[in-house]
Amino acid sequence: MLDLEPARIKLIMELRRQGVSNRAVLTAIERTPREIFMPEALRERSYENIALPIGRGQTISQPYIVGFMSQELKLNKRIVVLEIGTGSGYQAAVLAQLCRRVYTIERHRSLLQKAETCFEELGLHTISTRLGDGYKGWPEQAPFQRILVTAAASEPPPLLLEQLAVGGFMLIPVGPTWDTQNIVRITRSESGYDSQELLPVRFVPMVHGIAVDSPPAPQR
């Protein structure tokens, strides 16, 4: 049987060295089995500190980036988070342990369904999911104290800026497609928006509209 425990311990130590120091964040990562969110063929690589493919041309985020963003979000159990780009669901699962509720939007139906199965399996009942276009946000639940975008945009989507609460902030990778972007923190105040670059990164691009997923291969 696959014993991932040594790799898991090693990863947590590496995240600490890389500057993920918040105890609650480290505990949440420690308690979230990344292998559940991985495609079967890649399970043994679950605790490598890299992004890995999950199908539909998308990736599960690198654990360091999940740690970094979760820490930068400065969460507590009163805060509600909107995440754009559910992907595997791994980031949402970590966030769910750090805040009151997570609303997460994904444009690929097949990825969203897999993520939902993982949330069920782990008993994470404070995650609400939606198949939709993240550019539009989740207006019925706005405003949000925190918005986390896990796909790169050329600029912050206006509707997401609108759905940010005054005093709240958004983390979003901003920059060119398939090149280095920057995680930017955009804080909303009474008088407007203020942004600050935090970390160079590479994310898959944010894409408009709901994806038309090709159907699964027919059964023989």
Going by C-beta distance under 8 Å and a sequence separation of 6 or more, which residues neighbour residue 143? 163, 164, 165, 166, 168
Among 73, 95, 174, 204, binds ligand SAH (CB under 6 A): 204
Dihedral (Cα; 117, 123, 126, 132), 10-degree rounding: 0
In 37-142, the DSSP E strands lie at 52-55, 58-60, 80-84, 101-106, 127-131
In the chain, the DSSP E strands lie at 52-55, 58-60, 80-84, 101-106, 127-131, 144-149, 164-174, 181-189, 192-201
Binding segment for ligand SAH (CB under 6 A), chosen from 2-10, 83-91, 119-127, 177-185, is 83-91
Per the DSSP assignment, residues forming a β-bridge with 186 are: 170, 195
Among 32, 71, 145, 150, binds ligand SAH (CB under 6 A): 150
Cis peptide before 143 (omega within 30 of 0): yes
The distance of closest approach from Cβ of residue 148 to ligand SAH in the complex, given in angstroms and rounded to an integer, is 8
The distance of closest approach from Cβ of residue 54 to ligand SAH in the complex, given in angstroms and rounded to an integer, is 6
Applying CB under 6 A, does 87 fall inside the site for ligand SAH?
yes
Going by C-beta distance under 8 Å and a sequence separation of 6 or more, which residues neighbour residue 212? none
Applying CB under 6 A, does 28 fall inside the site for ligand SAH?
no
Catalytic residue among 21, 46, 61, 88: 61
Among 32, 46, 88, 129, binds ligand SAH (CB under 6 A): 88
* Identity of the residue, 30 or 194, whose beta carbon is nearer to ligand SAH in the bound complex: 30
67 token code pair: 């740690």
Active site residue 154: no
Per-residue x/- track, 105-134, ligand SAH (CB under 6 A):
xxxx--x---------------------xx
Residues forming the site for ligand SAH (CB under 6 A): 58-61, 84-85, 87-88, 90-91, 105-108, 111, 133-135, 150-151, 204, 206-207
Catalytic residues, which ones?
A: 61
